[in-house]
Amino acid sequence: MKRVIRLKAYAKINLFLDVKGKRDDGYHDIVSIMQSIDLYDIVTVKKKSSGGIKIICNNPSVPDDHNNIAYKCADLFFKTQGITSGSVEITIDKRIPVAGGLAGGSTDGASVLKALNILYDQNLDITELCTIGSKIGADIPYCLKGGTCLCEGIGDILTPFESDLKSYIFVLAEIPASVSTKEAYEIIDKNNIKENSLCVDEIINCLKEGNLRPNLLYNVFEKIEEQNIPQITSVKNVLDSFDALKSMMSGSGPTVFGIFSNLKNAASACSDLKDKGINAYICRSI
């Protein structure tokens, strides 16, 4: 019987993100196209005979108690499945920038659900794991599925589709600032920002053909965050100066990414950002 499972927990970027409006329950309905990339945390889940849920993480800014999304997922998994003596040690080797709009916490949580399903022989299918995950965070169902997905509702209604983005290179830049997702949504509500989702079907059709249409890609939060964090604009300018097809922000930010069709330009942009003291990563879609 297996006692340890180690998984790569992949980050996502949003190729498209729009807010449709606020719901009666306070959440917002969104329209988003999410894409997994090969930047990942390594999550190791070790089954123990006692001791409850323990979190170990190499990044001190990540909570190592019941506030960790991985902890919450393990706790809810045990409760939902009626496992009263569940004990695990969860080690998170954090490589994904924290609070960057890359779903770093959600992807750790999703990996824990996958691992516990195996370690505790529960045989839940992906839909059942998504039901548990969605109670912890709206991005967790997507992280369980991965790949390219149209995400609607609060982000939990998923329509996966095959895309062919192998020829594109993504340069991610970590912006040293923090973003309040709550405040960003409040600004959208207050300014009555209208949705811009009309071109989503067109984007999906293009992505299916492996043709990324840079001008159609959009993030409703980008302009709002650029007003608060000028580095978002300056990093986008650097990426554009190396001929990025598009530079934009992921999720509610502040991580910025540039999309390149030329590896040499992508590598030059990445090293230029590093020279400027910005953590930058070259990534591919997965």
Q: Which residue is nearest to ligand ATP (CB)?
A: 105
Which residues on adjacent β-strands are paired with residue 160? 149
Contact positions vs ligand ATP (CB under 6 A): 62-63, 67-70, 92, 98-106, 108, 139, 181, 251-252
Distances (CA, A) of 159 to 13, 93, 162: 16, 30, 10
Q: Which of 18, 41, 108, 139 is catalytic?
A: 139
Judged by beta carbon, residue 104 or residue 133, the one nearer ligand ATP is 104
Least CB distance to ligand ATP at residue 221 (A): 10
Beta bridge partners of 281: 172
Output the smallest distance, CB 62 to ligand ATP, in A: 5
Report the nearest approach of ligand ATP to the CB of residue 11 (Å): 8
**Considering beta carbons, is residue 177 or 267 the nearer one to ligand ATP?**
177
Q: Closer to ligand ATP at the Cβ: 174 or 242?
A: 174
- Using the minimum distance from each CB to ligand ATP, give the nearer residue, 86 or 137: 137
Which lies closer to ligand ATP via its Cβ, residue 101 or residue 141? 101
Which amino acid is located at 220 in the chain? V
| CA atoms within 13 Å, Cβ hemisphere of 167 | 9
Q: Shortest gap between Cβ of 28 and ligand ATP (angstroms)?
A: 12
Q: Annotated catalytic, 41?
A: no
DSSP characters for the chain? ---EEEEEEEEEEEEEEEEEEE-TTS-EEEEEEEEEEEEEEEEEEEE-SSS-EEEEES-TTS--STTSHHHHHHHHHHHHTT-TT--EEEEEE--SPTTSSS-HHHHHHHHHHHHHHHHTT----HHHHHHHHHTT-TTHHHHHH-SEEEEETTTTEEEEE----TT-EEEEE--SS---HHHHHHHHHHTTPPP-GGGHHHHHHHHHTT---GGG-EETTHHHHHHH-HHHHHHHHHHHHTT-SEEEE-TTSS-EEEEES-HHHHHHHHHHHHHTT--EEEE-B-
Please confirm, yes or no, whether 2 is among the known catalytic residues: no
Q: Which is nearer to ligand ATP, 76 or 206 (CB)?
A: 76
Q: Whole-angstrom Cα distance, residue 31 to residue 22?
A: 13
Least distance between ligand ATP and beta carbon 178 (Å): 8
User: Min. distance of Cβ 106 from ligand ATP in angstroms?
Assistant: 5
Catalytic machinery residues:
12, 139
